[in-house]
Structure 1
């Protein structure tokens, strides 16, 4: 499955937390009287960003499930076609069998191939499941990490406003109060941006999952081809002519 990891990274992170610039520009005497209004705007801005983030997350999961369902259906159709082709091949071999020994050789060949098919499909299915589970776990882990730094940011913002409310209730001059709030909000945003840079990037995780999946599938097919070649060699002993192609 090919996926744009940059798109995933961009939607799973909150790039710019909403902090109204009007707060940072306030220096007037009416600042404290409007503090509740400012905080409401900040809280609503953060809530809006979180809602959009969750919508993007759900869209990604839904697209993944739709893509996987589509590919599962396509794989099932191909397997059904391959099953039919093999059955036709076995039937043709039996038609050419002239002796009991040849019939037994065909039945043995069929049993060997069918067993190898089951083994190959089991390995392929396991590789697909492991890849999907690994990707889901990576997304969940990243979501948890992002939610964690968002909570830290929200708590920092809440603490900054709480302190400002307390200062507004005292006889402290308004200019330092505005300056302190501005500095606290700036620090909260900078910490958030720094924390999100530390979260493990999804791209390398996906690359490793893809490599592991592809290697497992390649091995499954190589093992299958090895079994088929050996089975054909044995069958040719009973059928001297080239009847197994």
Structure 2
């Protein structure tokens, strides 16, 4: 649907003296009330009339009363002016000015006197001690205490002496020696009653003492007729095979 157009406004009549549209009357806003308090004109103090000396001399009380009344009126007028200009006076917080007292000075004087007395007493004591030291002779001095000298404790000497390095049988091959020599004695046809003694004594002398001691033992057995010369040589070779230097 088509929208309707707005009707055209009538042309303004330029030639007519009065405008077609009456002008709206603009309302003036009411004047704002001033927040300032109304100024009160200062009251001029009335000038006292000159009174003759005779009247003032005769009525001194009346003159004094009139002066007091005038002073009161002037004071009241100044208070009213101050209230209008400054407003009501606010209440104070309640703090008061500190009144300086003269007590600290007195205390300081007392403490200074006490300190001076203590200093004087200490000086007097020091002088007395110096006089006493000057009077006492040097012979009265205490003898120096002799400190006992501590004796040095000698450490015990270690009596351990390591064994000399000599030719001995090897301890680590003991089991190998036992099996080999036992088999060898059977092969050499050594008497059975002498086998165990030969096996144990050769190892004991060669391992604990020296190889030469073990060979001397074999020579004694050869001289006794327990072993022959061939058996002696084979056993000596076995001993040389297990010998080490330790």
Structure scoring higher RCO (CA < 8 A, sep ≥ 6) equals 1
Greater share of residues in helix: 1
TM-score of the two chains, using structure 2 as the length reference: 0.26
Q: Which protein is bigger by CA-based radius of gyration?
A: 2
